[in-house]
């Protein structure tokens, strides 16, 4: 992609545009030039310091979760060649001669320019702390920084991050992901002091500390200490305390990278930043522009967010193309991020600085949710802070500056907590900005449908660029596009995928009613005509496989998911009845109903983990996970577990995962019912039940709720009169408290209602839709579900109960079935042509007396190699 460097690059007969810097904003500038046809009439040269083209710096931390540098790239493979752009990688500009209008790069290449655009970005600020240059001190800015951090972290156990802002928490998440004990040191009295208020900072801190990260606020680093070898050994803090740490990451903010401008005499601000006007042109030289984090905008601010940078890139490109432009006079600094798995968003006047501003606050400390709206005296929404649950961000931010159609209280209350109305994007005015990254309004999105004949979300994205930035607006965008199409009389295709014109719920009814036992039959009879001769796709195959599995006894299908056609429908995890891990190994999760286990069974798990060299962890769902098994070892491991009476825990499937429980009345002095017995009964009843998404449950023995039943898909809480049943909870990325479906139920009533609820959910939910999302989407919500499940308003309850009874009666443990069949065992090999050869890429490295994946493919501990012939077939196939 890089053009060959030459000592001098002469001017051509076309005007030459030189771009210094190729980050996110630089790439957006190139795209804006191409869109305006400038690349066809001008020569464009890019000098880039980094060894790779522009990549998504906002998603930088995702590198540690397996996303590659190529996947982070923002540049289409042929973009530069297609537009004739000369990109020089690893060759930064070093001097600018404004008189001669030339730029000289590190390699000695000199390029003459007619127009020069500076997009040099920013550099990490490193506080002047003694010891900051010790071995083990890093900044967190580029992929190269991440590579260095990852390499150094292999040999240390503890890390400290200086800075508790956006990048600081990103860095803390990276260290935690690398397995280090992590500290965050923030000089301000709260985390993310610019974006959130005291309440939001407190909620964020609680959640992060629950993840094992130690937070220090109101203190700064005083000195970094090092050993005789010059490597970091600790950090002294300003309050006199000391952190024992092996490495330090500085993420205390950024500063405009404006040295090139200073050296060539361009005007810079008192606190940095290249001074520009509304067209992003420097006032001292009309041939020079500056965009992004290196620029000091005409409103006196340096913007450190990508959305303002994109707007500046578009403004500069329009000015260069001599097109009309409104200019850049300021930008919305709203942000929505996920930091260490926690949703954090702020928008508008988040701190209530406006005169007469009032706060409307909702806080659930236990769930780690904090929401604050700042409202003017006249009811105008001025801004807000969302921590732990930022689902409403896409709706609230466009409403900023207007009086919402409902009260502020209704906008912050969670679903099921009294909020009587749910606003959709269609309630917004046309001038509301939906996509903040590209400044796309609702009116523009509507126009893409009505004026430019876009009929799908991808087409609207391409037409408007909405949803192609951070992605936080995609849900609102999809809703707007579908609403506009329907308003125009267009029938919106809500089919499951390109193979079927039906929803998942409709396909469920087809399979059930016509008793179709195979995907091939369903595709041939109900697939789209153009898809009927095909093989299906990755969306519909596992979805239909799940439907057939959940209805297997009723439609005459074999409930075992790896026989015949069913095997080809499964996702990777189901294919081997185990969870695939990031280094190609698998985890083994035996079912432990209610968390109750005998010493003998504990010993078997310990022996298996020891003999196969597996990493062992007790989970939050009352399970013992065994990590690091090769695919060829899975039958060997499960042979011993099944012999000891264990079953598959279905951690790999869209099925019931666990029914968590407290010790209940049996042991606890507060317990009022036997929660362990109930949890075991529920888990054994619903084990193996295939559903649109995973299912989690819990049983609490009293109202103290130690099992966290209200964070589950269906949760049970004991009362002195029986059991209360809650449904639709979710403790994951988008927390939701479950709603009370029925109370003071007898044992039989509870089982009957859960049977009905689960089967009604399986029957009507969309693909990969959790019960929490289903309950909010389904017409009538909780009231409708209660009418159907409790009061039998649709006359379905007998059928729902019969379906569940069939499932319970026909349940068979998948691993016990597998071990009894040599043909089924034959799939568990790393290489078909060398079945006894282990996968050499599955390697491990020691950590805390166990193992962890070695992603560098360095040799790890030797694991025992055994053959499938040593697996003893079981007697019978009944579940144990």
Is 435 annotated to bind a ligand? Reply is no
With contact defined as beta carbons under 8 Å apart, do 360 and 383 qualify? Answer: no
With contact defined as beta carbons under 8 Å apart, do 724 and 740 qualify? Answer: yes
Packing angle, helices 143-153 and 166-177, rounded to 10: 40
Cα separation, 618 vs 376, whole angstroms: 50
Q: C-alpha distances in angstroms, 65 versus 60, 61, 573?
A: 10, 8, 18
Handedness of CA 55, 60, 63, 67 (dihedral sign): negative
Closest by CA to 186, choosing from 160, 225, 157, is 160
Q: C-alpha distances in angstroms, 78 versus 57, 67, 84, 85, 461?
A: 21, 21, 10, 10, 20
Q: C-alpha distances in angstroms, 670 versus 667, 681, 718?
A: 9, 22, 11
Cα separation, 605 vs 643, whole angstroms: 12
- Alpha-helical (H) ranges within 704-746 are none
Rg (CA), the chain: 30
Cα separation, 398 vs 409, whole angstroms: 17
With contact defined as beta carbons under 8 Å apart, do 774 and 765 qualify? Answer: yes
Closest by CA to 717, choosing from 655, 671, 766, is 671
Q: Which helix (H) or strand (E) holds 306?
A: helix 306-320
Closest by CA to 149, choosing from 216, 44, 70, 246, is 246
Cα separation, 370 vs 340, whole angstroms: 16
With contact defined as beta carbons under 8 Å apart, do 695 and 771 qualify? Answer: yes
Torsion angle of C-alpha atoms 109, 112, 116, 118, degrees rounded to 10 = 10
Residue 636, judged by CB atoms within 10 A of its CB (0-12, 13-18, 19+), counts as buried
Q: Which helix (H) or strand (E) holds 749?
A: helix 747-764
Cα separation, 211 vs 388, whole angstroms: 14
Cα separation, 519 vs 788, whole angstroms: 29
DSSP tag of 11: -
The string of DSSP codes covering 526-587 is: HS-GGGTTS---TTHHHHHHHHHHHTHHHHT--S-TTSTHHHHTS-HHHHTTSEE-TTS-EE
Is 662 annotated to bind a ligand? Reply is yes
Q: Which two tokens stand for residue 635?
A: 């039958």
With contact defined as beta carbons under 8 Å apart, do 236 and 221 qualify? Answer: yes
Q: What length is written for the chain?
A: 880
With contact defined as beta carbons under 8 Å apart, do 651 and 664 qualify? Answer: no
Is 706 annotated to bind a ligand? Reply is yes
Q: Which two tokens stand for residue 10?
A: 């002469």
Helices (H) and strands (E) in the chain, counts: 29, 40
Q: Which residues pair with 618 in a beta bridge?
A: 624
The Cβ of residue 860 has, within 10 Å, a number of other Cβ atoms equal to 18
Backbone region of residue 506 per phi and psi (left: phi > 0; alpha: psi in -120 to 50; beta: other values):
alpha
Packing angle, helices 519-526 and 504-514, rounded to 10: 110
* Chain centroid offset of residue 49 CA: 30
Cα separation, 154 vs 36, whole angstroms: 48
Residue 806, judged by CB atoms within 10 A of its CB (0-12, 13-18, 19+), counts as middle
With contact defined as beta carbons under 8 Å apart, do 89 and 50 qualify? Answer: yes
Which residue numbers belong to the known binding site for siroheme? 706
Which residue numbers belong to the known binding site? 662, 668, 702, 706
Which residue numbers belong to the known binding site for [4Fe-4S] cluster? 662, 668, 702, 706
């Amino acid at each position: 992609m890089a053009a060959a460097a030459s000592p001098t690059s002469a001017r051509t007969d076309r005007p030459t545009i030189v771009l210094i810097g190729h980050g996110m904003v630089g790439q957006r500038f190139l795209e804006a030039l191409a869109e305006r046809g400038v690349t066809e009439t001008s020569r464009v040269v890019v000098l880039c310091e980094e060894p790779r083209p522009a990549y998504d710096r906002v998603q930088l931390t995702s590198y540690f979760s397996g996303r590659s540098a190529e996947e982070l790239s923002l540049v289409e493979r042929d973009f530069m060649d297609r537009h004739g752009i000369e990109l020089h990688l690893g060759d930064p500009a070093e001097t600018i001669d404004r008189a001669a209008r030339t730029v000289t790069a590190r390699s000695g290449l000199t390029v003459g320019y007619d127009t020069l655009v500076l997009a040099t970005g920013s550099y990490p600020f490193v506080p002047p702390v003694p010891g900051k240059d010790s071995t083990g001190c890093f900044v967190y800015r580029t992929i190269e920084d991440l590579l260095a951090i990852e390499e150094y972290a292999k040999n240390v156990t503890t890390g400290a991050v200086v800075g508790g802002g956006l990048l600081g928490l990103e860095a803390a998440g990276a260290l935690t992901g690398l397995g280090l004990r992590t500290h965050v040191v923030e000089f301000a009295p709260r985390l993310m002091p610019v974006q959130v208020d005291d309440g939001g900072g407190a909620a964020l801190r609680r959640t992060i500390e629950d993840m094992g990260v130690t937070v220090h606020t109101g203190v700064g680093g005083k000195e970094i200490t090092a050993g005789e070898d010059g490597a970091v050994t600790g950090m002294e803090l300003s309050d006199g305390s000391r952190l024992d740490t092996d490495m330090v990451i500085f993420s205390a903010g950024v500063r405009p990278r404006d040295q090139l401008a200073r050296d060539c005499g361009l005007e810079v601000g008192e606190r940095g930043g290249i001074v520009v006007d509304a067209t992003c042109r420097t006032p001292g030289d009309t041939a020079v522009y500056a965009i992004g984090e290196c620029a000091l905008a005409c409103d006196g601010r340096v913007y450190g967010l990508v959305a303002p940078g994109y707007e500046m890139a578009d403004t500069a490109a329009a000015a260069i193309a001599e097109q009309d432009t409104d200019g850049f006079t300021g930008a919305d600094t709203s942000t929505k991020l996920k930091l260490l798995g926690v949703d954090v968003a702020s928008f508008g006047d988040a701190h209530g600085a406006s005169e007469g501003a009032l706060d409307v606050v909702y806080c659930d400390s236990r769930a780690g949710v904090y929401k604050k709206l700042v409202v003017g005296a006249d009811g105008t929404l001025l801004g807000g802070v969302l921590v732990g649950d930022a689902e409403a961000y896409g709706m609230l931010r466009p409403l900023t500056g207007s009086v919402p159609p409902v009260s502020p209280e209704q906008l912050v209350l969670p679903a099921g907590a009294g909020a009587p109305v749910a606003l959709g994007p269609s309630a917004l005015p046309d001038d509301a900005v939906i996509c903040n990254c590209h400044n796309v309004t609702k009116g523009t999105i509507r126009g893409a449908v009505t004026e430019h004949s876009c009929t799908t979300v991808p087409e609207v994205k391409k037409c408007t660029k909405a949803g192609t930035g951070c992605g936080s607006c995609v849900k609102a965008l999809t809703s707007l596009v579908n609403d506009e199409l329907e308003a125009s009389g267009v029938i919106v295709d809500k089919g499951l995928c390109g193979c079927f014109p039906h929803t998942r719920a409709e396909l469920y009814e087809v399979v059930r009613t016509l008793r179709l036992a195979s995907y091939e039959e369903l595709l041939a009879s109900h697939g789209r005509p153009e898809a009927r001769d095909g093989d299906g796709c990755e969306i519909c195959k596992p979805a239909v496989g799940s439907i057939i599995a959940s209805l297997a006894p009723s439609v005459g299908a074999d409930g075992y998911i790896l026989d015949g056609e069913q095997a080809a429908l499964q996702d990777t995890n189901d294919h081997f009845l185990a969870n695939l891990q990031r280094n190609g190994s698998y985890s083994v999760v035996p079912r432990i109903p209610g968390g109750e286990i005998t010493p003998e069974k504990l010993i078997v798990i310990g022996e298996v983990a020891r003999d196969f060299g597996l990493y062992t962890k007790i989970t939050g769902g009352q399970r013992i996970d065994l990590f690091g098994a090769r695919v060829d070892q899975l039958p060997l491991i499960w042979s011993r577990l099944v012999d000891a009476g264990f079953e598959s825990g279905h951690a790999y499937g869209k099925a019931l995962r666990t029914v968590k429980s407290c010790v209940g009345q049996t042991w606890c002095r507060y317990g009022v019912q036997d929660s362990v017995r109930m949890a075991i009964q529920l888990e054994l009843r619903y084990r193996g039940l295939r559903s649109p998404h995973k299912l989690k449950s819990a049983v609490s023995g009293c109202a103290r709720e130690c099992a966290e039943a209200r964070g589950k898909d269906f949760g049970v809480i004991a009362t002195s009169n029986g059991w209360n049943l809650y449904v639709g909870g979710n403790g994951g990325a988008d927390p939701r408290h479950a709603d009370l479906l029925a109370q003071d139920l007898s044992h039989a009533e509870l089982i009957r209602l859960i049977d009905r609820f689960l089967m009604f959910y399986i029957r009507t939910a969309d693909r990969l839709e959790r019960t929490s999302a289903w309950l909010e989407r389904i017409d009538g919500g909780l009231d409708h579900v209660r009418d159907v499940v409790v009061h039998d308003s649709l006359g379905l309850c007998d059928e729902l109960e019969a379906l569940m009874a069939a499932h319970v009666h026909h349940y068979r443990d998948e691993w016990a079935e597998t071990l009894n069949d040599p043909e089924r065992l034959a799939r568990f090999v790393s290489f078909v042509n060398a079945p006894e050869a282990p996968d050499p890429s599955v390697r491990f490295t020691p950590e805390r007396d166990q193992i962890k994946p070695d992603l560098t493919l360095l040799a790890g501990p030797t694991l025992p190699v055994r053959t499938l012939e040593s697996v003893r077939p079981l007697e019978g196939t009944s579940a144990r």
